[in-house]
Each structure stands twice: as C-alpha cells, then as structure tokens.
Amino acid sequence: MMRSAPLPILPGGGERGRRFDMSDFMSFRGLRPFLRQNLGWWVTATSALVLGSLACSTTATLDAPMVEADGERLLGAFVGGGPAEVVFRGIPYAAPPVGDRRWKPPAPITPRQGVQRATDFAPVCVQATQSASFYRHIAETLGQDPKLVSEPGPSSEDCLYLNVWTPNLGGKDLLPVMVWIHGGGNANGVAAAAQTDGARLARQGVVVVTISYRLNVFGFLAHPALTAESEHGSSGNYALLDQIAALRWVQRNVSAFGGDPDQVTVFGESAGATDITYLLASPLAHGLFHHAAIQSGGFAVSDFRTLGEAEAVGASFAEALGVVGSEAVLAAMRAAPAEDVRRAWLAVKKPGTNAPNVDRWVLPDATGRTFDEGKHNQVPLIVGFNTDEWTTLRHYWPDVTLDGFRQVLGTIYGPLADRAMELYPATSDAEAAAAADRWQTDWYFACPSRFIAERMARAGGPVHFYMFSRAVQAPGGERLGAYHGAEIPYVWDTLSVETWVPRQLYDQELADAMSAAWVRFAATGNPNGGDLPTWPAYHSGEEGFLQLGDTVRAGSGVRRGFCELFEELQSIRMADSS
C-alpha cells in the first residue's frame, strides 16, 4: 500500500530491485544476462558478420535479436534477463530531412540493404540552446554536483529516428504500445534521455517507443515561399508531421516487435504533451493512437497563431539569415549551414517561434476552438500538472517586479484584469514574484489542462485528471516544490538515474504506483487498479482528480476561481480570433 511517513534519505536514486550476486552468476539464468551485458558488443558484431554473409538468412545467430521493419532487417540488443527483452535503437522512420528536404514534410525511407545494426541511439535533433542547463539548475538548488547531469549526445539535422523497447519479441499475444513524445519547449529535447529509458516500463508488459522530431527553426519555420511551394498551402508544422509519420511507422511495424497497433497510447510532457494536444486537434492524426496522456502540457489551447503570423516570423528569420531579396530564397535558406540557421532563428525575438500554426491542413482551426466545438479526436485521456511548475522556469521571466506583474495581468486579461489581480494579490516585488509563480503555473499548465478535461469529458470520453505535488525531501527541495518535469521519472520508474536528486524510500513506492497506473491506462484506458486509491473520472461540475504527492488521495475542484477566470478569457479570445 502507499505510504507517506518520512523515511531516511537515500542519495541519488531510490531503493531498486534485487541486485545481481554470485548465486545468480553460478546459474544459467543469471549467466545469460551477464554475458549479454558484458559481451554484448562481441555477440552483436559477430552476429552481424554472419548475417551479412548470408543474404537469404532471416534468423539471427548466437541468440541476437533481429526484426524486420519497413523493409529493413534490424539487429537489436538484449536488456534485462529475459530472451525477449530487447531494445532497438536508432530506427529510421522517415528519410533524412536534409538538403532539398529541409522544411518539407517527412518522406518515406529508402530501405537499406543487408542487416542494419540498431544498437546505438541516433544523433539528437539540432538543439536551440544548452538543454542540460535545466537539470543542472535543479542539481545546484538541491546542493548536488551539476556535473552529474550529462550533456545530450551529438546533434544532426538527420535525426528522424525512433527507439523501441519490447519484452515480447516473437510473442504471439500482442502487447499495448506506449509512444513517448519528449518535451523541451519544442526547441530542445531528446528521445534518448536516461529518465525515459524504456526498459523498466516495458518490463511491466508494454512495448515502449520514443521518437525524435525536428525542433526549433527546423520544425516550425513558416515562410511565404515555403507555403507557395506546398501542395497543401502549408508551412511551419513540420514537427507535428514528423510525429504523425512516426505514429504511422508504429501502425505499420510495431506488431513485428510484439506490440498491438490497435492499442497505442501517446504520452508526453511539457512541449511533448502540448504537441499531443495539437495531435488530438489534427485530422491527420485520427486513428493513429487510442489513448493519450498529457503531462504538464495543454497550453496549445491558448495558441491562436495563424499561418500569416508564422510567415511574418519566417520573413524576419530570412532577414536575420541574410537571404532577403534573393530570387531563390528557398535555395539560399536550404543551402545555409545548420549552425547559421540556428543562430539566425535565435536572433528573431518574437513570441511563438517554436509552435505550430493554423494552416488549415495539419491544424484546420485554433486548437482551443477545435476542442470547444467537439471536433477533436476523442480518446480516453490522462491529463494533469505539477503544483509548482514555474519554479524551474523562472529564467523565462527572471526579474519580476510588482509594476511589471500588474502590467502583464492588465495586458493579458484586459477587462478582466481587476479580477486577476484579486486572485493573485501582491503588494511588493517579493510578493509579485511568488504570485507570478502561481499565476504562470495556472496560466500555462493547470487551467489549460482543465479546459481540455472539460471538453473531452463533455464529448463523452473517459478522462482522469491528476495533480502531482511530491517535492524533493532534502535541503533545497522546498524552493522547487513539485517542479516542471518532476513526475517524469515516477511515470517511467527511473528515479535511480537522476543521481543529482536525493530520494526517500517512499518515492520508489510512488513511482511503482504511478508507472503501473500509466501501464494499466495503456492497456485498458483506465488507470485504476493495484494498490492505487480509486482515481475518480473527471466530470463537469465534479472535477474529480487524484493527487499524487506525500499522500495519494482523490479530490475535486481543479483550481476553481483561477481556472474559471481562464475559461472566461478563453471564450473572449476564441470569439475574437474566429
């Protein structure tokens, strides 16, 4: 059962499962994973040589895992102790979006001949900035060495790859599939983060897929010349098209990995969760997934950016890149080195640069209005937020003053500003900084999540809402609270990889309960079961939710008052943008 009593702090990760010892080594059961872990390179290399010499062979030798996907034969690697527990890394799901394919929808791959080694992660997509700084700030706040946080791997424009963990290779009964869309503000982020290693989650009976997609300027540049070139009159939504292409890959191929293409769950955090919101609003994604989990996302419903507005940003980018006035502006932009492109994008100081637009193809309408009118893709949903999201996002607004805070509220809420100031009172700069933390957690996370839950529930779909409130129980933890992204290693059962975060024994109990709930949801569309207290379904009026924190308990009413004001403003904005 879940516990909440304080327990001794464990440095780094929490208590894990049984460790390998000599009695395991002396048994064949223990010897096989030991050999795979320590001789895996030799086994893989030898298998590849043998397979390469046997053009007609379809079976791997030396017990190496092999599968065929999109016309390619892929050699994977063993994880864990079972003969079917396998990972395939760096699988291409689309052609490299480089050269003439830069800023075009993803294209099918050309299958490579022979056996392809799928044991290493592919390069990450080009990052806008230093993505390790987020976790390093957390480590420093907790008094830990920031060097414990590793840098992302090498980057490349050639990055449309995915990774698959399966406990069911060769299994007759197909398992549910969970597809992860990573966060990072749509500017940064990777599919190969240690926190989202799929081995432990897959061991609970699911096939896990993590995908990369184009980021920042490479995923979201709109420009009049690109729109004119498109047969759909569209530009700027390449990241969403990448995600859709990856989901189509899953539909075509996941059964070869032991996964059920008719039981696919998409889940993601932050920008990844927001992109899932866009996918729920896109007719191109209809039928590609059957459940969705939106973790600290949903602010897509507040996005009303039109294609024309996005094109204006693209024109500023072209000017920063120095190709304005060129007769062949597209050729010039596509010929520019990736680093020059990245720097020019960062020089464009306009909001919404790393976000989709309403192009009438990928997104027929503003996402909030699509949900409000019930035109979204209806699937069972988990949606929620962390209670202190903004404590690790203050770099977006580092110097809050009382006057500045009141000005922001006045600008955003207009005729509703007085009510906003009553809900978020402040009389000094220090009080304004604290109020800004609360307001931005509501504005970007809590209230958009409630907006989505309301519309999905009204449309008749099962919705389960959560609030994650578990803070780190160590010095510095009180300054962070339940910060942005804190729930990720609980969902993935990977607490131990965050060696810069002190944990208690209870944290592992909470991770066990949460990861099991997400897996049950992937299998049935309902997270209830196990030792988890009853998680009430969300209904309009009742607004049931489950709090996942020092205790796990049901509640009702999601930031009432605060989110009711958000709803009123949202109605005004939807009417003004129609």
Residue 541 main-chain phi, psi, to 5 deg: 95, -55
Give domain status of residue 98, yes or no.
yes
51 and 71 share a domain?
no
Distance separating the N- and C-terminal Cα atoms of the chain: 50
Tell whether pTM > 0.85: yes
46 and 151 share a domain?
no
Q: Which of 105, 132, 161, 102 is nearest to 338 (CA)?
A: 102
d(Cα 316, Cα 347) in Å, to the nearest integer? Answer: 9
Q: Is 189 left (phi over 0), alpha (psi -120 to 50) or beta?
A: left
195 CB neighbour count, 10 Å cutoff: 17
* 232 Cβ contact partners less than 8 Å away, ≥ 6 residues apart: 359, 361
Q: Which of 364, 107, 361 is nearest to 232 (CA)?
A: 361
51 and 179 share a domain?
no
d(Cα 539, Cα 517) in Å, to the nearest integer? Answer: 20
- What are 116's two structure tokens? 């392809």
CATH number of the domain within which 394 lies: 3.40.50.1820
H or E element that contains 545: strand 544-548
Quickly list DSSP for 444-478.
IIIHHHHHHHHHHHHTT--EEEEEE-PPPSSTTHH
183 and 55 share a domain?
no
301 and 378 share a domain?
yes
- What are 517's two structure tokens? 């709930």
41 and 113 share a domain?
no
Give domain status of residue 110, yes or no.
yes
Tell me which DSSP letter residue 306 carries: B
pLDDT in tens, 332-366: 999 999 999 999 999 997 877 899 999 999 999 99
Question: Tell me, what's the pLDDT at 325?
Answer: 72
Q: What is the CA radius of gyration of the chain?
A: 24
257 and 378 share a domain?
yes
d(Cα 247, Cα 259) in Å, to the nearest integer? Answer: 13
d(Cα 27, Cα 34) in Å, to the nearest integer? Answer: 11
pLDDT means per 10 residues, the chain with 578 residues, are 35 32 31 35 37 35 81 94 86 98 98 97 93 91 95 94 96 96 96 96 97 98 96 98 99 98 98 98 98 96 96 96 86 97 92 92 97 97 98 92 97 96 98 97 98 96 97 97 98 97 98 98 97 94 95 94 96 90
Give domain status of residue 11, yes or no.
no
336 and 401 share a domain?
yes
Question: Tell me, what's the pLDDT at 78?
Answer: 94
As for how many domains the chain has, the answer is 2
Kind of pairing, strands 463-468 and 544-548? parallel
Question: Tell me, what's the pLDDT at 63?
Answer: 66
408 and 350 share a domain?
yes
Give domain status of residue 257, yes or no.
yes
Give domain status of residue 174, yes or no.
yes
d(Cα 413, Cα 395) in Å, to the nearest integer? Answer: 23
Residues annotated catalytic, as ranges:
270, 389, 484
431 and 528 share a domain?
yes
Give domain status of residue 146, yes or no.
yes
d(Cα 4, Cα 127) in Å, to the nearest integer? Answer: 39
d(Cα 295, Cα 182) in Å, to the nearest integer? Answer: 11
Question: Tell me, what's the pLDDT at 28?
Answer: 29
58 and 82 share a domain?
no
376 and 242 share a domain?
yes
* 467 Cβ contact partners less than 8 Å away, ≥ 6 residues apart: 384, 385, 386, 387, 545, 546, 547, 548, 549, 555, 558
Domain that holds residue 27: 21-64
Give domain status of residue 402, yes or no.
yes
d(Cα 34, Cα 415) in Å, to the nearest integer? Answer: 67
Of 64, 88, 116, which marks where a domain is finished? 64
d(Cα 420, Cα 569) in Å, to the nearest integer? Answer: 11
What are the b/e assignments for 248-277, b being 16+ CB within 10 Å?
bbbeebbebbbbbbebbbbbbbbbbbbbbb
Helix, strand or coil, per DSSP, at residue 570: helix
Q: Which of 570, 554, 574 is nearest to 562 (CA)?
A: 570
Could you give the dihedral angle defined by the CA atoms of residues 25, 30, 36 and 42, in that order, rounded to the nearest 10 degrees?
A: 40
Give domain status of residue 212, yes or no.
yes
